[in-house]
Structure formats: structure tokens, C-alpha cells
Amino acid sequence: MSSALELLEKAYGRIRLPKEESLLERFIYFVLVDGTSPAKATKAIEDLHETFVDWNEVRVTKPYEVRESLSAIADGREQGKAEVIVSALQKIYTDKSKLSFDFLEKLEPAARRKYLSALKGVPPWIRAILLLLVEKEKSDQPDALRVARRIPIVDKRLTPAKAREKLAALFPDDELHNVMAVLVQHGTQICHSRPKCVECFLKATCKEGIANTTSAERSEPPVDSLLATTAKNRPVMSVPWERPKEFVLPKVSPPPAAKRRDGRPSPPPLPKGPRGRPGRFYD
Ligand code: SF4
């Protein structure tokens, strides 16, 4: 493995891919593992299974109650993660009437991307990994490919399709998910189209970083401190969270006015007296 990839893993951590579970379960695991250890995320998902009958019960539960089952994460983001999970389950159920991500495979690539982007609070790397799991090596990951070309892991001159093929050939399936996860995180945080090479912990390792910086810039700030800062700030929920609308009360229309026996319209209601009680004597 290239030293650049090792540094990327040090900064962003490794993703353990749960093998047997459905895509929905993997998604929930990814939300839980974001910025914390796989062991803690695994414990949290086990606690969810113990507390709730199924994901549908989680869907209809308040996020603050779901949060209580996420204490194993202990990263201070239990509430945010509970909100992301409940909101995603609510959206999937509202749109598809069942709790499964199987429909993603049948969508066109653009529609698939759009759907995943509409899930509130989901970090870019989770969307990228879900796309990768659904689309396999055909997945178009511009953020990841940009970094892979710059470091470089793949030749800069390769077309996106060829670059994807090359990455898929370089790494076994499980490893590829991990590599893509760190590349996407780096591409969305530091190595943008206009890269922030001076602030990047790869500036002394990456081919393009070396070309973009002077030797003085490569020594200051030191790579180790940049690496430590990135690792410390790893928990990223870069998509602003919007609270789902809960308890939107339906509009209740007033009951029809009672008719008199002789067919004349009913008199207007009595004006309200103190404490909202009807009482003509108080007005
Ligand atoms: S040094 Fe620059 S080009 Fe290289 S990975 Fe970092 S930000 Fe990207």
C-alpha cells in the first residue's frame, strides 16, 4: 500500500464492511461508525436490535428515545446519528412503503444519486460507499478519482471509466470500499478541485502536492500536526441537518351547524366568556 494511503487511513480510519447484512443495515452501521470505532458501532447496532423489534419500530420512535440505545458510541453525536437514522427510515418508508434499499438498484444512476443526496445529514463518504456497493466498479466517484489521480494511485491520463477499473483491479472488494471511503473523505474535505495543499497532510507525499508547494510550505505547518488535526476532526456531518417535521396536526373543519326543526338557520354561537366558556352575561 502506498504511504499516501497509509496516511489517509491514519487520518480517516478504516471502514469495516458488515458482510451479511442488507444495504439498509449497512447504511445504519455506516451512520453509527462515522467518526468512531467499528467496535462501538457494532455494539450500538446490537443494542438497537435488542431494544427494537425491527427497523420499522425505530422509524416510529422519537430520535431522543433511539439515542438511548446508542450510548455505546459515546462520541457526543448520539442524538445527531439517531436523527439521521430515523429521518432516513421515515423517508424510505414514505417513498417506497417498505424499509429496504433494494429499489436503488433499479434506479438510473442520476436518480440514485439524487435519492441518496436527499437523505438528510448523511455524510458524503456514506453516500459514496452506498453507490459503490450498488454500482460496484461502475460507480462514478469524482471526489475519490480526483485524489487517486493526484496522489497518484492511478495514472492521471486515464479516463474515469479506466481509472475506476484500475482501482477495482488494484484492491480486493473489501479493501476497495475502505480505499474509496478515505479518498472520498479527503476529496470532499481538503483535496477539492482547487486543492488546499498547504493544509494537507499529504503535501510531502503527494506528487501534485509537491508540485504545488514550496519546500518552506511543506515544512510548515508540519505534516504530523496536520495529520493529527484531520484525525481529531474526523467526525464529519457535513450536510446541514434539518429536523424532520413531526406531529403536523391535520386541519380539523368545524362540525356542520345543527339545523332547526323549522329549517331556519341556527343562531350564531354564544360569545366566549371568561376561561373560554360560553356566557352571554359576561360580555
Ligand atoms: S497535497 Fe494537494 S493535491 Fe495532494 S492530496 Fe493533498 S490537497 Fe490533494
DSSP state of 278: B
Q: Which of 199, 206, 230 to mutate for ligand 1's pocket (most ligand atoms within 8 Å of CB)? A: 206
Q: Which of 7, 146, 149, 150 to mutate to test the pocket of ligand 1 (most atoms within 8 A of CB)?
A: 150
172 pLDDT more than 70? yes
**Ligand 1 atom with minimal separation from the 199 CA:** 7
**Does 131 score more than 90 pLDDT?**
no
State if residue 208 touches ligand 1 by the CB under 6 angstroms criterion: yes
The CATH fold assigned to 1-18+135-241 is Endonuclease Iii, domain 2 (1.10.1670)
Using the predicted structure, report yes or no on whether residue 147 has a pLDDT greater than 80: yes
The answer to whether residue 204 scores a pLDDT higher than 70 is: yes
**CA 62 / ligand 1 centre spacing (Å):** 42
pLDDT of residue 268: 57
Give yes or no for a contact between 100 and 22, defined as CB atoms under 8 angstroms apart. Answer: yes
Instruction: Please give the pLDDT value at position 167.
Output: 83
Show me where the domains of the chain are located.
Answer: 1-18+135-241
Q: CA torsion, points 140, 146, 150, 156, in degrees to nearest 10?
A: 50
How many residues make up the chain in this entry? 283
What is residue 210's predicted lDDT score, i.e. its pLDDT? 93
Q: Is the CB of 203 under 6 A from ligand 1?
A: yes
Percent of the chain, pLDDT > 90? 33
Residue 99 pLDDT > 60, yes or no? yes
Residues 6-53: tens digit of each pLDDT: 888 888 777 666 666 788 998 998 898 887 777 788 899 999 999 999
User: Is the beta carbon of 191 within 6 A of some atom in ligand 1?
Assistant: yes
Nearest alpha carbon, ligand 1 atom 4: 209
For residue 27, which of 18, 35, 36 has the smallest C-alpha distance?
18
